[in-house]
Structure 1
């Protein structure tokens, strides 16, 4: 089967890109003809490894192109390149990337598709696919974020357009229930993302290192983690907090580190392509997010046997972790409760090891061999439903 995955930027660093690459590789290994299509391309090659059987192409390829000329006044406001999207809601966080020109190119690409399947991976792309992709293509809209985090205009567009999909795929059972209530009659399936494959070095639980990772954005709540860690480390001075990732909140977070006088204990490490190695050095992982879809970096940490301390935010942590088994869940945005939970694991290496062992076992339910057959079954089912009526017509005509 021809399977196309459409990403906004397949050359970026996000967790969605990595999980789509994993899925694409598994489908190619199963014998499918797989292509990853990037709306934009601005660098030579993707940052994440990808099965060599998977092709990567781009709709708007500006790698190596000279910078576009500066525009001003009427030309800037009314050129196709500068005008905002016609179809993508203003509340979609990636809307700024969908100029009228980019949007038109994506629509033309979708309209030319014939046969096979198209999997789109964020609301903007989902909405465009629901409206403009050819009806002889199996269309699957992936949602990587829970419904409640979308602004009102995005939810309205979801309600209006997602029923056109052959299936909407979400990451957790809670998501499936919420999207199902909004979209009665639409096939909504729960298929979690899979962690990347390979043997992982396990934590020894002896290093006094706490790890967190993600974009330095408000969503990830590192502004809540730093004061919580400051409370915990005040009576446990041998510990370090290492936060991996880049983003526009870096200056604010450095200010918080100074404000709480933990500059010798808390460190912004930047982006690393070797996060697996850094996770293996740690003794616990902390998720301080305000909201999530399904936090893959948390599950990645569990593959190294790390216990987790997490806010019970919507959605994901409670779908993976049972409080007191694989880690500790605390009320969302409660800095004091987060500090207590971090301190509890700091104080007890045996508890870290017990929870880490349970976390490792739980992570195996998100291994590619556990998750990706569910995608293949969905593709097979949808393709059969699409061709079934045609086969009946052909047989009736032959008779």
Structure 2
């Protein structure tokens, strides 16, 4: 099969980029013709490694900076039609040139499978893509996380797609409610490996991973850990990721030796293996892949029971602890419990590693192959 994955920025960091890279590599390993297409390119080198058999290309090269539009945003919308809705989290990336490039690329395809990976791209595929192409939209976020204009466009246009893929059962129920009669399939993302080095619980380190944005809730995690650490001297919190809220988060840190914002890293597996607890403090999620990757290292998890994702993976009291959403006191108490009990961490960590095996490429990739084969056969039969 010929499979194209369309990403906003395949050269950057982020959970969607990493999981799509994993998918592309796994499909290429099974003999399929695979290409990853990046809407924009802002880096010389990609942060995640692709299998040599996977082609990578970019529609708009922005390494020299973002070119100004020749038309006003309003004029561009009037000329070509409103495709990327206001309120899409990445709407500012879709300048006149970028949006035109995506529309021209999608409308020019005549065969194979096109997998788009965020609402802006899903909507362009739905509205401008050819019926000759099997079009599959990936949704990496909860429907409720999107702003109303985005949900309205999803309800209006996703019915033109061949299938919508979501990550959790809760996501599937949401989309079924909004899109009756549309094919909505649940396929979780796969981690790059489930055979990672396990934590020996020798280091008193709590670790969190994610962009430094409001969604990730690090402004709630920092005070929660600060309170828990008062009862457990020597423990540290390390937060890996970059983002716009770094300065605000830094201002919340009282002891920079105890709590550190580590920035981005290409050695996350190494850091996870030397940690003791993984914490997810998000206000909302899709399927939290960094959490599952931490579980492959036998780390127990403390997580807000946010919509959606953590509850689909974790069993409270078995492989982690679920805390009511945005409950800082509850997060403190859960951290306090695990920080004070090494045997509990070892037991929950072993269970976490077992849970994570359901997210291996060996488990997930056949689900994608079955979906693509079915949709392609249906398209051939109706041609």
Shorter-chain TM-score above 0.5: yes
Q: How does 1:71-82 map to 2 (within 5 A)?
A: none
**Matched residue, 1:367:** 360
* 1:327 pairs with one of 308, 314, 320: 320
Counterparts of 1:339 and 1:109, CA distance in 2: 49
- The answer on whether the counterparts of 1:203 and 1:283 sit within 8 Å (CA) in structure 2 is yes
Q: 1:78 to 1:336 in 2, by over 3 A?
A: closer
Q: Is 1:318 paired with 2:311?
A: yes
* 1:307 pairs with one of 275, 297, 300: 300
**Matched residue, 2:49:** 49
Question: CA offsets per residue over residues 48-105 of structure 1, 9 Å max, x none?
Answer: 0111100001111234x4x56778xx97677869x99831111101000111221111
Q: How does 1:373-392 map to 2 (within 5 A)?
A: 373-390=366-383
**Matched residue, 2:28:** 28
- The answer on whether the counterparts of 2:12 and 2:43 sit within 8 Å (CA) in structure 1 is no
Q: 1:154 to 1:266 in 2, by over 3 A?
A: same
Q: 1:78 to 1:172 in 2, by over 3 A?
A: closer
Counterparts of 1:382 and 1:145, CA distance in 2: 23
CA offset at residue 198 of structure 1? 6.4
* 2:137 pairs with one of 128, 141, 151: 141
- The answer on whether the counterparts of 2:238 and 2:259 sit within 8 Å (CA) in structure 1 is yes
CA offset at residue 368 of structure 1? 0.5
**Matched residue, 1:288:** 281
- The answer on whether the counterparts of 2:194 and 2:356 sit within 8 Å (CA) in structure 1 is no
Counterparts of 1:69 and 1:188, CA distance in 2: 38
Between stretches 212-221 and 103-112, larger displacement belongs to 103-112
- The answer on whether the counterparts of 1:171 and 1:193 sit within 8 Å (CA) in structure 2 is yes
Q: 1:136 to 1:68 in 2, by over 3 A?
A: closer
Q: Is 1:269 paired with 2:262?
A: yes
Q: CA RMSD in A?
A: 1.8
Counterparts of 1:135 and 1:102, CA distance in 2: 23
**Matched residue, 2:7:** 7
**Matched residue, 1:394:** none
Structure 2 SS opposite 1:387: helix
Counterparts of 2:67 and 2:125, CA distance in 1: 31
Larger Rg, first or second structure (1 or 2) = 1
Counterparts of 1:305 and 1:326, CA distance in 2: 9
* 2:225 pairs with one of 222, 226, 229: 229
Question: CA offsets per residue over residues 274-315 of structure 1, 9 Å max, x none?
Answer: 010000000110000000000000000000000000000001
Counterparts of 2:76 and 2:358, CA distance in 1: 47
CA offset at residue 389 of structure 1? 3.2
Structure 2 SS opposite 1:162: helix
Question: CA offsets per residue over residues 123-144 of structure 1, 9 Å max, x none?
Answer: 0000000000110000000000
Q: Is 1:19 paired with 2:19?
A: yes
Number of residue equivalences: 382
- The answer on whether the counterparts of 2:111 and 2:132 sit within 8 Å (CA) in structure 1 is yes
Q: 1:377 to 1:102 in 2, by over 3 A?
A: same
**Matched residue, 1:397:** none
Structure 2 SS opposite 1:369: helix
CA offset at residue 264 of structure 1? 2.9
Between stretches 193-202 and 208-217, larger displacement belongs to 193-202
**Matched residue, 2:113:** 117
Counterparts of 1:120 and 1:176, CA distance in 2: 17
**Matched residue, 1:156:** 152
Counterparts of 2:151 and 2:141, CA distance in 1: 12
Gaps of 5+ in 1: 391-399
Q: Is 1:242 paired with 2:238?
A: yes
**Matched residue, 1:87:** 83
Q: 1:137 to 1:232 in 2, by over 3 A?
A: same
- The answer on whether the counterparts of 2:159 and 2:179 sit within 8 Å (CA) in structure 1 is yes
Gaps of 5+ in 2: none
Counterparts of 1:4 and 1:172, CA distance in 2: 23
- The answer on whether the counterparts of 1:287 and 1:311 sit within 8 Å (CA) in structure 2 is yes
- The answer on whether the counterparts of 1:313 and 1:332 sit within 8 Å (CA) in structure 2 is yes
Give TM-score, length-normalised by structure 1: 0.92
Structure 2 SS opposite 1:372: helix
Between stretches 193-202 and 273-282, larger displacement belongs to 193-202
Give TM-score, length-normalised by structure 2: 0.96
Structure 2 SS opposite 1:286: strand
**Matched residue, 1:393:** none
CA offset at residue 199 of structure 1? 3.6
**Matched residue, 2:181:** 185
Question: CA offsets per residue over residues 357-385 of structure 1, 9 Å max, x none?
Answer: 00000000000000111000000000011
